[in-house]
Structure 1
Amino acid sequence: MNDYAIATVIPPRGAAAPVERRARSGVVSLPVPQVSASRASAMRYGLARIDASGRVADRAILTTLGWSSGDSLMITVVESAIVVHRDPSGVFAVPAAPYLTLPAVVRRRAGVRAGDQLLVAVDATCGVLVIHPLAALDTMLVSYHASLLGGEDRDGRTE
């Protein structure tokens, strides 16, 4: 995702104008909450494919996190998300090639297969990488969108 796409999603800083809605007795102004564009962490997002060897095709991950060849990593699967961070007691290591390689046991536990597209979320401030298979992202978004639409899922059933 480029900076232009990010800038179009995040609202500009400053006070938001009130939303006006016509009522029978006249105009009613509703306050609009101000959304801050600044965050405590420096998150970066991307989409990457994983190959048959477990390599995640996004070299920028290691650059953003400052990881280098031989660094020990802790890789944990939490539900379907893969959480990776540098840890001296980690049993995995950053390979010599500028890629992140996910071991087969991790891929199996997370349900990730060769060719799958992944959402890569990097928190450079904390030095953490979270990888989500797109199927998990779909589940999260369906649930979130249902909450926005009054608690109904795709079939119109209330949860």
Structure 2
Amino acid sequence: MAAVVGMTGAVIDPVAFPASLARDGRSPTAASNRPLPLPTVPTARTETAVYGMAAVDCRGRVADRTVFAALGWVAGTPLAISVTHGTLIISTDPCGVFGMTSQGHLRLPAPVRHCCGLASGDRVLLAAHPERNVLLVHPPTVLDLLLADRHARLLGGDLT
């Protein structure tokens, strides 16, 4: 490499960087051609569940047209409601005493709301399973329990 004469007339020595090997013993060029790491992609869904979020109004009604349409529930559809582990399980039942309102809302009776700790304004996760003709309504307290471990792992600590 030839020396370069600067504007002041002084000779400037060339700078040359020595070739070095990457940590794995390959040349820097080979190391830079290595593909970037890719994130883990979740597997494809196997369930046909349809999800929605809805707020409980002051009369205990929830509405989500997409979820109810996936189930085929319309005004007057007779329904049965049960509560298991804080989650409402709602299914069609010819002898059911509950039903969809004429406006297409699902009305959750006061005793059911009290049993689950639901108050006016609470948002619930609706999980429709059309192949089973059932709707699961998850109150916020249940969602907290279901997601606590996952959130703690993602955020690096105990969230309780």
TM-score clears 0.5: yes
For residue 45 of structure 1, what is the aligned residue in structure 2?
51
Residue type at the aligned position of 1:100: L
Give 4+ residue runs of structure 1 displaced > 6 Å after superposition: 147-150
Partner SS for 1:122: strand
User: Percent identity among equivalent residues?
Assistant: 40
Of structures 1 and 2, the larger Rg is shown by 2
Query: Corresponding residue for 1:77?
Result: 83
Q: Secondary structure at the match of 2:94?
A: coil
The within-5 A match list for 1:29-68 is 36-39=43-46, 41-68=47-74
Name the CA distance, whole Å, in 2 between partners of 1:57 and 1:112. 15
Q: Give, in whole Å, the separation in 1 of the partners of 2:45 and 2:139.
A: 27
Alpha-carbon distance in 2 for matches of 1:116, 1:122: 19
Kindly report the root-mean-square deviation, in angstroms, between the aligned alpha carbons of the 2 structures. Answer: 3.0
**Which amino acid is the alignment partner of residue 110 of structure 1?**
C
- Of Structure 1 and Structure 2, which has the larger fraction of its residues in strand? 1
**Structure 1 residue 93, shift from structure 2 partner:** 1.7
What CA distance in whole angstroms lies between the structure 1 residues aligned with 2:72 and 2:111? 25
Summarize deviations over 1:91-111 as a string: whole Å, max 9, x none.
Answer: 212222211111111111111
Which residue of structure 1 aligns with residue 130 of structure 2?
124
TM-score, normalisation: structure 1 = 0.67
Q: Does the CA-based 8 Å contact 1:59-1:100 persist in structure 2?
A: no
Query: 5 Å matches for 1:90-129?
Result: 90-129=96-135
